[in-house]
Amino acid sequence: MDFQTRWLTHKYTGRDCTPRHRDHIDRIRLEVETSLMKILLLAAVTLDGKIARNTHHFVNWSSREDKKLFFATSRQAGVIIVGNNTFKTLPSPLPGRLHIVLTTTLEGKEDIPGSVEYTDRTPPEIVADLEARGYSEAVLTGGAQINALFLQHGLVDEIWLTVEPLIFGAGIDLFRGLEFDLRAKLIHIEKLNEEGTVHLRYSLR
């Protein structure tokens, strides 16, 4: 049993546990146990925990080492899962990767076969479809609401953060729109350059 399910079970045991809470626990457990795909959430963050100044802010402020890590990891996975607003900040789709772009409406959006697919499906449906097509790993790269949706469904295996020595003061957090009370386990830490960029990896399993 993963730690999210253990936490939910612990939280909703005893007199506080209701049928609705039990159904929620069972749903999260089923989604986690039936998913064989590994989802890595990758993000560059500032010292004050921001991933962007606004929804249209392209991540051109992260270090060369962070970009190199993202390109290599996403190329190996072969799939990038991204929200429509974040996708629109990219100059163009990255070659050699399938971009799954989440959107609330498919109207006016055209897929690019083998490169870009727009979808309004739920995170479990997206993961199930990718697994059926033979993918075993995907990179989740925001935005904040998309990150929160996948975390809500227990579909984030690891969170990889590149902490850049910058402070925005205001902007977009790593997660938005949902409340969580989860604890991750630090599994990797690495100094990427002499400017103070640090790479952290946390496991949610």
Q: How do residues 159-178 score in pLDDT, each as one tens digit?
A: 999 999 999 999 999 999 99
Query: With DSSP H G I counted as helix, E B as strand and the rest as coil, what are the percentages for the chain, rounded to 5?
Result: 30, 25, 45
CATH topology of domain 36-203: Dihydrofolate Reductase, subunit A (3.40.430)
For 77-114, b where at least 16 C-beta lie within 10 A, e where not — what string? Answer: bbbbbbbbbbbebeeebeeebbbbbbeeeeeeeeeeee
Which residues contact residue 198 at a Cβ distance below 8 angstroms, ignoring those fewer than 6 apart? 162, 163, 189, 190, 191, 192
Residue range(s) in the chain whose domain bears CATH number 3.40.430.10:
36-203
pTM of the model: 0.82
* Count, residues in the chain: 205
CA–CA separation, 40 vs 205, rounded Å?
12
User: For the residues of 34-87, what is the DSSP string, one character each?
Assistant: H---EEEEEEEE-TTSEEESSTT--S-SS-HHHHHHHHHHHHHH-EEEEEHHHH
Is the pLDDT assigned to residue 97 strictly greater than 60? yes
> What average pLDDT does the segment 154-158 reach?
97
CA–CA separation, 27 vs 132, rounded Å?
20
What sign has the CA pseudo-torsion 126, 131, 132, 133?
positive
pLDDT, one tens digit per residue, over 115-130 is 999 999 999 999 999 9
